[in-house]
Amino acid sequence: MEESLIALETQKINAWFGKDQVLFEVSVRIPRQRVTAIMGPSGCGKTTFVRTLNGLHLMTPGARSSGTILLEGVDTSTMDVVDVRKHIGMVFQRPNPFPTMTVYENVLAGYRLTGQRLSREQADEIVEKTLTKVGLWGEVQEKLFKAGTSLSGGQQQRLCIARTIAMEPAVVLFDEPTSALDPKSTAIIEDLLSTLKADYTILFVTHGLQQAARISDYVAFFMMGELVEFGETKRVFVGPQDKRTEDYLSGKYG
Amino acid sequence: MAQRSHSDRRELIREHAFSAAGLTAAIALVATIVLFFVQLFVTSRASRTAFGLSFLWRSEWNPVTEQFAALPMVVGTLATGFGALLISTPFALGIAIFLADYAGKKVAEPIKYLIGLLGGLPSVIFGLWGLFVLVPLVSKFEVWFGNLVGSEALVASGTTGVGLLAAILLLAIMILPFSSSLILESLLVVPAELKEGALALGATKWDTIQSIELPYVRKSTVGALVLSLGRALGETMAVTMVIGNGMKMPRTLFDPGNTLASAIANQFLEATSPLYVASLIELALILFVIAIIINIAARVILRRGVQQ
């Protein structure tokens, strides 16, 4: 791949919780405006990996990490962590809209939290544009000033996606965002990814093989904290190069 | 089959017996509260018939002429209670936020323990400390303040230091362990996923506290503060030791005053005439009603806080 096509690159990422090392020398180059699935069995370090990318890993008491992360070629350790998080957004496993805010306020939460002032028109425009992007505008137009938590689970998760992309990040991390949702809401969010990738580089953590196959252009397969294999999704699924990937795909590990 | 239905029946009887016992205990508890009220109401009859409702808003308290009224004590109670709440609230919030979000476990745990210890200290110890440490400081401040505003009366009275201000400061310290640990408890249950959600959007820790955590605990914090107020209003021993026990209507914060509780504690033994006793009991009745109102208010706020 050419350099200009790489949005995010990690070099030898290690991560620890206390004395336990959970990531080992992870080096990977994430292509721009593609969906990259981060895949692997439970406890393989895939969530920890994405949490090191935006510095959330270090919020856990006793957690450490080492290695270099290049965002558009810039070493993120030279940036303020707050700026890193503005460029690398994140959607969590369980929908977590802010319960004290309305739907409208939730979309703009990033602006409010970081103290950026918006005019009424700008705010209205961002809310409508972003909610339209996640396919929620029609559904919640009448509920804009109700609590964000009053929406259904699937709608809440799309609200959280809206909240994240409202900040116009370059990269969006999805940490198993559909694992708490019903199949229909899951399908809606999976469909959404194919339109979102036109604007954003997406990392999508999942433990579901089928889901990875459906949604991703590239897969990174993790096991026991190591990056075992990385490549185009079709290539990895059809002809895995590592024995461990092959075993996982054929269902030998949970 | 018969065997089984026999043991079923025994089980049933046991269950009935247990629930009856529980019900009795619960009724006894409610009855105690009601009887308290009835008792206070009945034994304060002499005072109620002599002074009627004007007991509440007149301010003369004179055992010699047998004129009694509660206003100075009601004012003293509310002024010290709300004053203490006003002063201690910023500190309580600061302590709770620090322990919840800034101090690591190694720092927070021992401090939490100390706060609990402070909250369990007998109030007479606070009273002694207030008398020997706080009152002299208040007295110095009063003289300084009197000179500042050019009031000779303040400078002269500043030699004592006892009064409403000393009581307010002492109460502020006494309710601090209570209010800060209640606020801390509610901060600790703010879901981690909400904090992470805010951080992931580029918020700083302080942004997160301000815009996510504090709004989330707003109602339970108000509930905690109202409960603390209830404590302050009912505190007797320590207040009695530093408030000066003046039965006149206080005009400034430096004046000696009295609260409902401290007036009762101070004068009950010397009350000889039936009307004097009844008047003190009516003070207790007023305090009882204030305490119940405050507690109900706190419960209502707290319950709404949970439903959020």
The amino acid at residue B189 is V
pLDDT score at B3:
57
A227 at the B interface (CB within 8 A)?
Answer: no
pLDDT score at A104:
94
Q: Which long-range contacts (CB under 8 A, 24 or more apart) does B140-147 make?
A: B142/B254, B145/B254
- Nearest by CB: B203 against A89, A99, A113: A113
Among A30-44, A196-210, A224-238, B2-16, the range scoring the smallest mean pLDDT is: B2-16
- Nearest by CB: B105 against A61, A98, A114: A61
User: What integer best gives the mean pLDDT of chain B?
Assistant: 90
Integer Cα distance of A113 and B25 in angstroms? 51
User: What integer best gives the mean pLDDT of chain A?
Assistant: 91
Angle between helix B71-97 and B218-234 (nearest 10): 140
CA angle B9, B13, B14 (to 5 degrees): 115
Integer Cα distance of B292 and B304 in angstroms? 18
Write the DSSP assignment of chain A as a string of letters: --GGGEEEEEEEEEEEETTEEEEEEEEEEEETTSEEEEE-STTSSHHHHHHHHTT-GGGSTTEEEEEEEEETTEEGGGS-HHHHHHHEEEE-SS----TTSBHHHHHTHHHHHTT----HHHHHHHHHHHHHHTT-HHHHGGGTTSBGGGS-HHHHHHHHHHHHHTT--SEEEEESTTTTS-HHHHHHHHHHHHHHTTT-EEEEEES-HHHHHHH-SEEEEEETTEEEEEEEHHHHHHS-SSHHHHHHHTTS--
Give tens-digit pLDDT for B272-305: 899 999 999 999 999 999 999 988 888 887 776 5
Name the CA dihedral angle for B293, B294, B300, B305, rounded to a multiple of 10 degrees: 170
Nearest CA in chain B to A90: B200
Residue B9's pLDDT band, with cuts at 50, 70 and 90, is confident
Integer Cα distance of A106 and A165 in angstroms? 12
Q: How many CB atoms lie within 10 A of CB A195?
A: 11
Gap from B209 CA to chain A (nearest CA, Å):
10
As a whole number, mean pLDDT of residues B156-169 equals 85
Backbone φ and ψ of B65, nearest 5°: -90, 0
Q: Where does residue B37 fall: left (phi above 0), alpha (psi -120 to 50 degrees), or beta otherwise?
A: alpha
Residues from chain A contacting residue B219 (CB–CB below 8 Å)? none
pLDDT score at A254:
52
Give tens-digit pLDDT for A76-124: 999 998 899 999 999 999 999 999 999 999 999 999 999 888 999 999 9
Integer Cα distance of B238 and B229 in angstroms? 15
CB contact under 8 A, A86 and B216: no
- Which of B85, B121, B107, B59 lies closest to B249 in space, CA to CA? B59
Give tens-digit pLDDT for A2-58: 556 889 999 999 999 999 999 999 999 999 999 999 998 888 899 999 999 999 998
As a whole number, mean pLDDT of residues B243-253 equals 88
Residue B44's pLDDT band, with cuts at 50, 70 and 90, is very high
In this structure, which CATH number among 1.10.3720.10, 3.40.190.10, 1.10.10.520, 2.40.100.10 belongs to the domain B44-307?
A: 1.10.3720.10
B198 at the A interface (CB within 8 A)?
Answer: yes
Residues from chain A contacting residue B200 (CB–CB below 8 Å)? 54, 56, 85, 89-90, 92, 164
Residues from chain B contacting residue A164 (CB–CB below 8 Å)? 200-201
A114 at the B interface (CB within 8 A)?
Answer: yes
H helix runs in B189-273, sequence order: 192-200, 205-208, 214-216, 218-234, 237-242, 260-267
A167 at the B interface (CB within 8 A)?
Answer: yes
CB contact under 8 A, A113 and B198: yes
Residues from chain B contacting residue A79 (CB–CB below 8 Å)? none
Q: Domain-by-domain residue ranges, chain B?
A: 44-307
What part of A 52-71 touches B (C-beta under 8 Å)? 54, 56, 59, 61
CB contact under 8 A, B215 and A100: yes
Residues from chain B contacting residue A99 (CB–CB below 8 Å)? 194, 216, 308
Residues from chain B contacting residue A110 (CB–CB below 8 Å)? 201-203
Tokens of B207: 């942004």
Give tens-digit pLDDT for B168-189: 999 999 999 999 999 999 999 9
A16 at the B interface (CB within 8 A)?
Answer: no
Evaluate if residue B128 carries a pLDDT over 80: yes
Q: How many CB atoms lie within 10 A of CB A182?
A: 11
pLDDT score at B308:
42
CB contact under 8 A, A92 and B196: yes
B206 at the A interface (CB within 8 A)?
Answer: no
Nearest CA in chain B to A53: B200
How many residues make up chain B in this entry? 308
As a whole number, mean pLDDT of residues A124-143 equals 92
* Count of CA atoms in the C-beta half-sphere (13 A) of A217: 13
Residues from chain A contacting residue B105 (CB–CB below 8 Å)? 61
Tokens of B103: 């101090």
Instruction: Name the pTM for this structure.
Output: 0.83
The amino acid at residue B190 is V
What part of B 207-226 touches A (C-beta under 8 Å)? 207-208, 211-212, 215-216, 218
Integer Cα distance of B277 and B271 in angstroms? 6
- Going by DSSP bridges, is the β-strand pair A171-175/A20-31 parallel, antiparallel, or unpaired? unpaired
Residues from chain A contacting residue B193 (CB–CB below 8 Å)? 92, 94, 96
pLDDT score at A30:
94
CB contact under 8 A, B197 and A92: yes
Gap from B113 CA to chain A (nearest CA, Å):
21
